[in-house]
Structure 1
Amino acid sequence: MTHDFNLDGHEYVALCDLLKHTGLADSGGQAKHWIAEGRVLRGGVVEQRKTAKIRVGEIISLGDVFIRVVQA
């Protein structure tokens, strides 16, 4: 399953906030836990920086869910 996330004029979004805003994580704490466990991939590579700056064009995955970051 693929979701598009619109940055809506912003330069970037923190990885933990992205997971929360897309509804994958119920809270920022849950998102940070998944990131620390190595369950979140950024462009196919494990990303363990909780506040990594995610920009337009990047793809984040958690299990079989993909988030494509776009700009409207």
Structure 2
Amino acid sequence: MKKEIVIDGPYITLGQMLKEESIISSGGQAKWFLKETAVEVNNEPEDRRGKKLYDGDTVSVPDVGLFFIRSKQDS
């Protein structure tokens, strides 16, 4: 699945994105989810829930899909 995520501000954190997309049910689950799941940001492994995602970034979540970050300001 490929999905575009439109953000209002300059960035969204990886933990916020996972919660907003209902991949995890609470922000507290992000730390454990990222330790157990091989999430990639821009084709690089990432396990920090506070990782800032900016316009143009891609996030790959195994068994879920590929997400494209887009800024509403650029739309």
Q: What TM-score range do you get, normalising by the shorter chain?
A: 0.7 to 0.9
The normalised TM-score by structure 2 is 0.82
Is the 2:10–2:71 contact (alpha carbons within 8 Å) kept by the matching residues of 1? no
Larger helix proportion, structure 1 or 2? 2
The match for 1:13 is 12
Question: 1:32 Cα deviation (Å)?
Answer: 2.1
Q: Distance in 1 between matches of 2:37 and 2:23?
A: 15
Is the 1:35–1:47 contact (alpha carbons within 8 Å) kept by the matching residues of 2? yes
Q: Which moved more, 1:52-61 or 1:37-46?
A: 37-46
The match for 1:4 is 4
The match for 1:41 is 40
The normalised TM-score by structure 1 is 0.85
Is the 2:41–2:57 contact (alpha carbons within 8 Å) kept by the matching residues of 1? yes
The match for 1:60 is 59
Q: Which moved more, 1:46-55 or 1:25-34?
A: 25-34
Q: Distance in 1 between matches of 2:44 and 2:59?
A: 9
SS at match of 1:24: coil
Q: What's the C-alpha RMSD, in Å, of the aligned pairs?
A: 1.4
SS at match of 1:20: helix
Q: Distance in 1 between matches of 2:24 and 2:4?
A: 16
Number of equivalenced pairs: 71
